[in-house]
């Protein structure tokens, strides 16, 4: 399992708008709880939703699928991530719906494998068929909201509406006034990728036709899933980028690779990297793990503890790919 936390310094961004009020396009905000003066208080801060980040990650999977010759449906390629949710989608892709009678568990597994063979994004990002006999595959990639760092009672974040005017030079009276709310913050986000479960069906039952093909594609599928993390590590997500491309700088990150479930410390404190290193070692002993690797990028002068220093996101992805290949070779 790969888990990571990242801190970005982001200035003047409108990556996640939620609605228009008159001529104002609002930035998404959310309530958070922080401790100030010994008391817990609620503050509303700019945020970027996990749905927005996950969408960008899954569209990066589409690009990787093309390069690695892996399957993706036309709907997914267009960014319509409805993922085999109804019978019309199944008919369009030539997939038989799961049977309602008989060995339904086995047929759920057959159906899941058929979908995975049709679409890499449904494999890594999961899907939910909501027909007569529902079948679900949980996403192997998890991500939460990107929120401002909550440290020492202060929240380094601010929202401001920027005034703009559209007009016609030939008719000056044709003016359209609009305001876009932009945010600036030191943000943090956390993510997980269960790369070991990629290309592995989750529904119970004996092996079905198609699983061998999935195993033959496993390394390419894992490679696509890991390379797509580059989108997360470099902040290449969110909307309204054509005219509000943010000034975004990766300040620090910690990423762990384990053979047991583990979530890195969120980047709210300046010792989140060293805390992650300490915790993952203890978790290995408690859970009987055999593999623990901790990597860190630091451009803030933080305490890295036992984490291995990595220079940039490109080297981080390279190391994760090397470890994934070693792990798969050991399994063979």
pTM here is: 0.93
Residue 173 lies in a domain: no
Range of the domain at 201: 2-21+23-151+185-331
Please tell me the least confidently modeled range out of 56-60, 176-180, 298-302, 310-314: 176-180
Look at residue 177 and tell me if it is in a domain: no
- Would 227 be classed as within a structural domain? yes
Does residue 262 form part of some domain? yes
Whether 52 is in a domain gets the answer yes
Q: Domain count of the chain? A: 1
* pLDDT tens string 135-164: 999 999 999 999 999 987 788 889 888 888
**SS3 for 310?**
coil
167 domain-assigned: no
In a domain, 110, yes or no: yes
The pLDDT tens digits for 27-47 are: 999 999 998 888 999 999 999
b/e per residue, 105-119, with b = 16+ CB within 10 A? ebbbbbbbbbbbbbb
- The pLDDT of 284-305, averaged and rounded, is 96
pLDDT at 102: 58
User: Among 234, 228, 235, which Cα is nearest to 70's?
Assistant: 228
**101 confidence band (pLDDT: 50, 70, 90):** low
Tell me, yes or no, whether 156 lies in a domain.
no
Three-state SS for 280-327 is HHHHHHHHCCCCEEEEEEECCCCCCCCCEECCCHHHHHHHHHHHHHHH
């Amino acid at each position: 399992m790969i888990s990571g936390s990242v801190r970005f310094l982001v200035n003047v961004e409108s990556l996640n708008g939620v609605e228009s009020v008159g001529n104002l396009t609002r930035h998404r905000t959310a309530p958070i709880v922080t401790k100030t003066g010994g008391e817990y208080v609620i503050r509303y801060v700019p945020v970027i939703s996990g749905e927005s980040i996950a969408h960008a990650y899954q569209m990066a999977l589409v690009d990787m699928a093309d390069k690695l010759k892996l399957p993706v449906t036309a709907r997914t390629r267009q960014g319509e991530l409805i993922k085999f949710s109804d019978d019309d989608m199944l008919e369009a892709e030539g997939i038989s719906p799961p049977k309602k009678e008989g060995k339904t568990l086995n047929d759920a597994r057959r159906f899941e494998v058929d979908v995975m063979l049709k679409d890499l994004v449904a494999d890594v990002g999961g899907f939910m068929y909501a027909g007569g006999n529902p079948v679900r595959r949980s996403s192997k990639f998890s991500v939460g909201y990107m929120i401002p760092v909550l440290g020492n009672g202060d929240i380094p974040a601010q929202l401001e509406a920027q005034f703009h005017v559209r007009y016609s030079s030939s008719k000056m009276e044709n003016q359209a006034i609009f305001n876009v709310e932009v945010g600036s913050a030191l943000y943090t986000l956390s993510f997980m990728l269960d790369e070991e479960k990629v290309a592995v069906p989750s529904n119970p039952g004996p092996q079905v036709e198609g699983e061998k093909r999935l195993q033959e594609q496993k390394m390419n599928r894992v490679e696509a899933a890991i390379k797509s993390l580059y989108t997360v590590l470099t902040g290449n997500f969110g909307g309204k980028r054509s005219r509000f491309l943010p000034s975004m700088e990766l300040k620090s990150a910690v990423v762990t690779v384990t053979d047991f479930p583990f979530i890195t410390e969120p980047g709210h404190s300046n010792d989140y990297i060293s805390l992650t290193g300490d915790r993952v070692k203890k978790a290995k002993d408690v859970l009987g793990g055999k593999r623990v690797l901790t990597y860190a990028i630091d451009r803030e002068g933080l305490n890295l503890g036992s984490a291995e220093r990595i220079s940039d996101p490109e080297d981080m992805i390279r190391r994760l790919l090397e470890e994934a290949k070693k792990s798969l070779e050991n399994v063979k």
